[in-house]
Structure 1
Amino acid sequence: MSDLDPRLRERLTAYRNDVVTQIAGPGPDQARHLLRRRRRMTAVAVAAAAVILVVAPVVANAALRGDQNRPVPAESVQPTAPSTSAPPTPTPNASPSATTSTPNAPDGRISRAQLLATRVDLPSWPSGMAEGGCTTSKVRLKTNTTDTFVSMLADAPFRYGDLDDDGAVETLAVVACRYGEASAKQVVAFDRDLDGRIVTVGRVVRTGDGFDDIRAVEVHRNGSVEVRVADIVPCCGTPVYLRREQVRTYQWDGNRFGQTDGPTAFGKDPRLTDLRLRMTHELVDVPGTDTRRKLTTVLTVTNAGPLDAPQISIRGFDFEAAGGDWSKCDPKHAAETANRSCLLTGVPAGESRRYTFVQLVPGEPGPDAHIRGFWVAHHDAQDREWPDLKRDDNSVDLPFKL
């Protein structure tokens, strides 16, 4: 520049000074201003990215589910203040908890008509019933039949309830198989499979397991099954008043039904007592032209307890009365019985009574002669006859045929 013309140098210097006064150079203040601006832009970008990372999965999941509803408040994202502590270390192999949904169990409510219209498998019958013809495989159940050894629906109403705790209802029915005047019975649970077919869940209980009849069935809200059972079937001449009933409860354990409450056996009937009969006899000819003989029997009745017998009856009198204690007998009772019998005043527990009866019997045994005997029975105050606790000592036989 020292070689330049002095006038030209002056003009260049003036031009430079003029330009410097027009333009702000990049000094410290300008640098700090630019840095603050860049930091603000970076923070906004980071916050926007965080929101996208949080909202994107929610929107994606809603799209996959086809869920057009707005998130409930518990699912809404709320801004939180930044934590000053370090975030916890995630547990290895940890996965977020989720509710697993399973398909709904099929509705097992089955009508009587639907069950009769299909073939079903039945649980096994008591021993001897299958040999007689009570089938269990692919059975088409019948109703209102008097045929023997045919599986059928009993008249008991169907019951419904969630027996296996799957959230759906199952059906309980009483199935029977007649073997005479009485029938074997079992309570069977039925359901539907996923295809809607009727399937057998299992047997709740059956006769032959310590009782002979099923009287009623109920289902409780907890899925337990209440069955009213009876020790005998009042048929074949057996009076209804002899029947005893119990309520037993059963429940499904995942594999089978088992008893969970109620008595497990009937035991001895507390209404019965133990009568015992002993006899002495004498057989002599009748004086005169009568060819018959006179039979005198002395019968001793002992009540071994535990109950008093309000009345007793002695049976086996087949011939003409000829003396003794006949006047002590109730005449109405003798007329109403098939075999001539004598209804007498009862014997208290622990005591004995002796009775003498004289009859005129044939002098010589005829072609229909057979061993004759006597037996004693306990009666209550209503003239109802009851079985004996020990039947073997309730009867005695004559040592000859008449």
Structure 2
Amino acid sequence: MDSLRAPRMLFATLVIAAASLPLALSPPAAQAAPDGRIPLSVLREATLDVPAWPADDVRGPSGRLRFHGGQVPIAPRTVPAGQPPYGDSVMILSVAYGDVDHDGADETIVVLGCLIEGGSKQIVAYDRDAAGRIVSLGRVAATTGEIRDIRDASPRVGADGVITALVADYQRCCADPTPQIWQTRGYALRADRFSQVSGPARMPVNPHVTETGVSTGPLTFGPATGGYRYGSVDVTVTHRRGAVPRQVTLLFYPPDGLRRSGDWPKVTTEPDSFSVTVPGPAAGGSVTHRFAFRRPAGSSGGELAVEVTTVPESSPAVPWLTNATAPIRG
């Protein structure tokens, strides 16, 4: 009988020992992905990581920004002629949802704007981390280069995680009737950053839109002669993309005492300005025109503002490139 009892006792001991093993030996349960579907009401009062705004569009603050009522006000700031202006506020313009990182849970796709009347826009993807904090997955697309507008409510997330959006070559403001070219482009998360994966890679030429800008050197005067100083300024007009102007009109806004000197093309005068029409640059090229001035010998300092418009007139894709300021020296 003792020989039969021993195996039973050993079996019972093993069962008890197994039952007392720590639960850590059991296979761990799979952890659910954080819920990245962030309601608009939460976003409007959240602190969000905002990527840097494009260098060639309206600028504003970036980094961790605290939103209230869906916006962040921007203190007024002046910039030199020919430089992108600063916006009045950063705003949440629209929200969409979808699984862009293939973790089985939705993320939040936000269109942000840094706006004056128009302004910069960017699409940014947000998620939550394991602790529930809102984190940025990065910028999807922005109004930079050939892309000058994004339709606010256009982003959609497909079953494959691709974010599609409507982008345009020109941004209208107010009652501007300029025709725009719209394209649908798709973006996907690849190696921790978003890249374009579908849609056209380039914008066709819009005959109604041009990116033609103006720049100047200084207006430098020499020594006094007969009570006046004489000098000249080089004005350079550059075509970057879009419609190529046959001619350009240069508008000059002179300070008090500054007068034209020497030979000029035909001049049209206004109470506070005058203008000349001259040959425009070749496609993708530049052309420089030199203009002579004089002013009383006792005058000094100041600046000469110059503006360019195209002939025939086309809408400027980048408006601030159409203005320049020449410092007056001597």
- Give deviations 1:267-296, integer Å, cap 9, x for gaps: 235x88xxxxxxxxxxxxxxxxxxxxxxxx
| Partner amino acid, structure 2, of 1:198 | I
Shift of 1:209: 4.1
Partner of 2:168: 230
Structure 2 residue aligned with 1:195? 131
Alignment check: 8 A CA contact 1:164 1:254 kept = no
Q: Equivalent residue for 1:320?
A: none
Q: Matches of 1:105 and 1:164 in 2, distance apart?
A: 11
List runs of 5+ in structure 2 lacking aligned partners: 75-85, 209-266, 279-308, 314-330
TM-score, reference length from structure 2:
0.51
TM-score (norm 1): 0.43
Cα contact 1:163–1:224 (8 A) shared by 2: yes
Matched, 1:113 2:41: yes
Match of 1:104 in 2: 32
1:152 aligns with 2:80: no
Call closer, same or farther: CA 1:60–1:128 in 2, change over 3 Å.
Answer: same
Q: Does the 8 Å contact 2:35/2:128 carry over to 1? A: yes
1:182 deviates by 1.7
1:1-400 to structure 2, matched below 5 A, reads 59-60=19-20, 64-65=22-23, 100-127=28-55, 132=59, 134-141=60-67, 143=70, 149-156=87-94, 158-178=95-115, 180-215=116-151, 216-235=154-173, 238-239=176-177, 242-269=179-206
Q: CA RMSD in A?
A: 4.0
Corresponding residue for residue 6 of structure 1: none
Structure with the largest fraction of strand: 2
Pick closer, same or farther for the CA change 1:144–1:257 going to 2, 3 Å.
closer
CA deviation profile, 1:275-323 (whole Å, cap 9, x unmatched) = xxxxxxxxxxxxxxxxxxxxxxxxxxxxxxxxxxxxxxxxxxxxxxxxx
- Between the aligned partners of 1:367 and 1:153, the Cα distance in structure 2 is 42
Match of 1:353 in 2: none
Give the number of the structure whose residues are more often helix, by fraction.
Answer: 1
* 1:233 CA displacement: 1.3
C-alpha displacement of 1:58? 6.4
Distance 1:151 1:102 in 2: 43
C-alpha distance after superposition, 1:138-170 (max 9, x if no partner): 2234658997614423433x1111221222221
Q: Distance in 1 between matches of 2:54 and 2:203?
A: 19
Give, as a single letter, the amino acid of the residue that structure 1 aligns with 2:63: S
How big is the shift at 1:263? 1.2
For 1:261 and 1:366, the matched residues in 2 are separated by 50
Higher relative contact order (CA 8 A, sep 6+): 2
Distance (Å, rounded) in 1 between the aligned partners of 2:118 and 2:150: 12
1:114 is paired with a residue of what secondary structure?
helix
Q: AA paired with 1:136?
A: S
Q: 2:72 touches 2:91 (CA, 8 Å); kept in 1?
A: no
Taking structure 1 as reference, are residues 135 and 366 closer, same or farther at Cα in structure 2, changes over 3 Å only?
A: closer
User: What SS is found at the alignment partner of 2:43?
Assistant: helix
3-state SS, counterpart of residue 138 of structure 1: strand
8 Å CA contact 2:56, 2:144 repeated in 1: no
Deviations 1:223-265 (A, max 9, x none): 221111111112366425x111111111112411111111111
Q: Is the 8 A contact 2:137 2:192 kept in 1?
A: no
Structure number with greater Rg is: 1
CA distance in 2, matches of 1:124, 1:392: 32
- Residues 129/210 of structure 1: CA separation in 2 closer, same or farther (3 Å cut): closer
Q: Contact conserved, 1:119 with 1:140, CA < 8 A, in 2?
A: yes
Alignment size in residue pairs: 208
Q: Counterpart of 1:115 in structure 2: which amino acid?
A: L
C-alpha distance in 2, partners of 1:207/1:143?
20
> Within 2, Cα distance between the matches of 1:230 and 1:366?
36
